[in-house]
Amino acid sequence: MRNYKFTGPLRPVYPLSPKRVVPPHIRRPDYADHPQGVSAIESVREKRIRILNKEEIEAMRVVCRLGREVLDHTASFIRPGITTDELDAICHQACVERNAYPSPLNYARFPKSVCISVNEVICHGIPDQRPLVEGDIVNLDVSLCFHSDLNATYPVGKIDDESAELIATTKKSVEEAMAICKPGVPYREIGNKIEEIVRPKGFSIVRRYTGHGVHERFHCEPNIVHYGGSKMPGKMEAGHVFTIEPMINLGTANLDHWKDDWTAVTLDGRRSAQFEETILITETGYEILTRPPPTTSSHKKKKKKSKSKANGTSTPNDGEETPEVGTPTGEMADGVKELEVNGSA
C-alpha cells in the first residue's frame, strides 16, 4: 500500500494472519488448491442460465440455510474492539464445524474465509488486524461451498443517523426487488426497482459489481444489475437461482481499488452498505433460500404459531420475521445444526 492515496480514513493493519486450514475430509471446490485460485468449471462459459433439478435445489436449500447460520453466528461477535481477522477466524471455524468449505478462501487467491468491508469499503475487504470501533458499519459476506452466498451490513455500537438510513434503505431495496421476482419477469426489472427505492434518498448505486447465478459454480449467469434503465437480457424461469446484492453509497458510485487486488472503496471516501440474499425462482414466485426461519421469541408470534399448528398448517416464512437492522442475536437457524453439505447433484 506504499504511495497509495487513500480515498477515506480507513487503513489496513498488517500483517495478515496465515492462511487458515480446512480439514482434508471436507469437500473442496476446484479452485481451493490451485496456485492462482482458478475455477476450471467457471472458465467454461455456460450458453444459457442453468435450471436446477430437484436434487440440486435441495442441496442449495441445505447450504444456504447453513450459510445463514454461519453469518448470524459470526455477526453475533461484532462489537467495538474485535478485529476483522478475529471475525474471520470465527467464520472459518463455523464453516468447518458444519463440514463446509468457506467459498472465498483462495478464490482467485482471496486470502481469507469471509469478505469483511468496513465503512467506505464497498466489497471484498480482506480481514486484518484493525479493531472495529464505535460508530463503524461493517459488512460480512459469507459463502459456503456448494455454493451459498449472502451478506448483511451491521452497526458497530451506536452509529450516526446518516449511516443508519443508508443501511435501512439498502435493506429495503433488496426486499422490494425480491418481491417482484417470478417466472417471466425480465432480469433488468430488479435494477429498476432498486433504483426506485434508492434514488429518492440521494444515494448512489454501484455499477461495477453485480448479482449473479450461483450453484456448483460460485459465480455464473445470470448477471444481475442493480441500477435502472439497463438493457440486460433474459427473463426469470422456474429453477433459476441467483443473488440480489446491491451496493449503495452515501456519495458517488465511482470506486477505486486498494493495491491488495481486492478491496473496493468509494472514490469520495464516504460510506457504503450492502445486503445480499440467494433466491430460487419457483413455479409461482420465488423462495429466499438464505432467509432465516421465523423466530418465536415474542408472545404474539408464539400464539400465532400455536394457532396454525391447531389448524394443521405451518406458518410460512414470508419475510416478515427478518431481523431489523442492528447487531444480531446470533440465534442459529432452527433444525439445520446436524445437516452436512454433501455436494451431490
State in Å, rounded, how far the first CA of the chain is from the last one: 43
Q: Which residues contact 298 (CB under 8 A, 6 or more apart)?
A: none
Residues marked as binding for substrate?
124, 219
Of 184, 123, 175, nearest to 151 (Cα)?
123
CA distance 210 to 190: 11
Torsion of Cα atoms, 182 then 185 then 191 then 195, to 10°: -90
Neighbouring C-beta atoms of residue 40, cutoff 10 Å: 10
**How wide is the angle at C-alpha 314 spanned by C-alphas 311 and 315, nearest 5°?**
110
Annotated binding site for a divalent metal cation: 141, 149, 212, 245, 276
Binding-site residues: 124, 141, 149, 212, 219, 245, 276
Place of cell 398448517: 313
| Sheet strands (E) in the chain | 115-118, 121-123, 137-144, 148-155, 204-205, 211-213, 220-224, 241-244, 247-249, 255-257, 264-266, 272-274, 277-281, 286-288
d(CA 287, CA 118): 30
Identify residue 320 by its one-letter amino acid code.
Answer: E
